[in-house]
Amino acid sequence: MKKQKLSPDTTKQLEKWLKLFRKRFKINRSFSHLVIPEREPGVGRLIIEPHELSNMEVFKAIRRFPASYMVFDRRRSFLPNKLLNITLDTITDSSLFTKGDRAYWIRDQVEPDNDLINYSTNQLVKKHITCITLRGMMLYELIYHEETGHPLKAEIDTLCAGSRTIHDGVPCVGWGTIYRDKPKCELFISHSKLKTHGTELSSRRVIM
């Protein structure tokens, strides 16, 4: 198979992912077999999802960040506390995503896509818009922190419409706080229904 020719920026982003996988997950592979899709104008953030990484493994890596701003508020989780391990690892992804290693592009920005605000998962599916998975979103949080030393801290929650819970819901990732007098400093993983939409919720379109 002929080796794919990558742009300098794509190569740089891929190298950052390889470093992250080695450092956080002890995954030491070149991903040379992975076909990286062509990017579109305005869509410049590469996301790589290794097939062997589970949602829970990525979540645990996030939990290793300073606890002052990386907290899972289980009162907002979609299953009881004792089922946390089962919750994250029973989330499945849309059939539009391949089963092996994945590479795709999203917009390189803190906030989710502005043009998808107030869209429910049902509406996104109807319009044939493929969106980020829960694992992809958590990996974006990780790589962003690795690059900047700061959390993403989006004001609008990300609807991970590329994934589904075992109860046919949709996981969401957002920032908030359980204290009224403090800024948004905690990462929440919650869920919504397929029909849920609102101005405080958006998704991230995937190019693959």
So what's the pLDDT on residue 163?
95
Please report which confidence band the pLDDT of residue 53 belongs to, taking 50, 70 and 90 as the band edges. very high
pLDDT tens per residue across span 104-139: 999 999 999 999 999 999 999 999 999 999 999 999
pLDDT tens per residue across span 129-175: 999 999 999 999 999 999 998 888 898 999 999 999 877 889 999 88
Does the structure show a pLDDT above 80 at 179?
no
DSSP readout, the chain?
Answer: -PPPP--HHHHHHHHHHHHHHHHHH------TTPPPPPP-TT--EEEEE-TT--HHHHHHHHHTS-TTT----GGGSSS-GGGHHHHHHT-EE-TTS-SS-EEEEE-SSSS--GGGTT--HHHHHHTT--B--HHHHHHHHHHHHHHHSS----SSEEE-TTEE-TTS-EEEEEEE-S-TTS-S-EEEEEEE-TT---TTEE--B-B-
| pTM listed for this prediction | 0.88
Does the structure show a pLDDT above 60 at 93?
yes
Q: Which is more confident, 84 or 63? A: 63
Domain ranges of the chain: 53-100+108-202
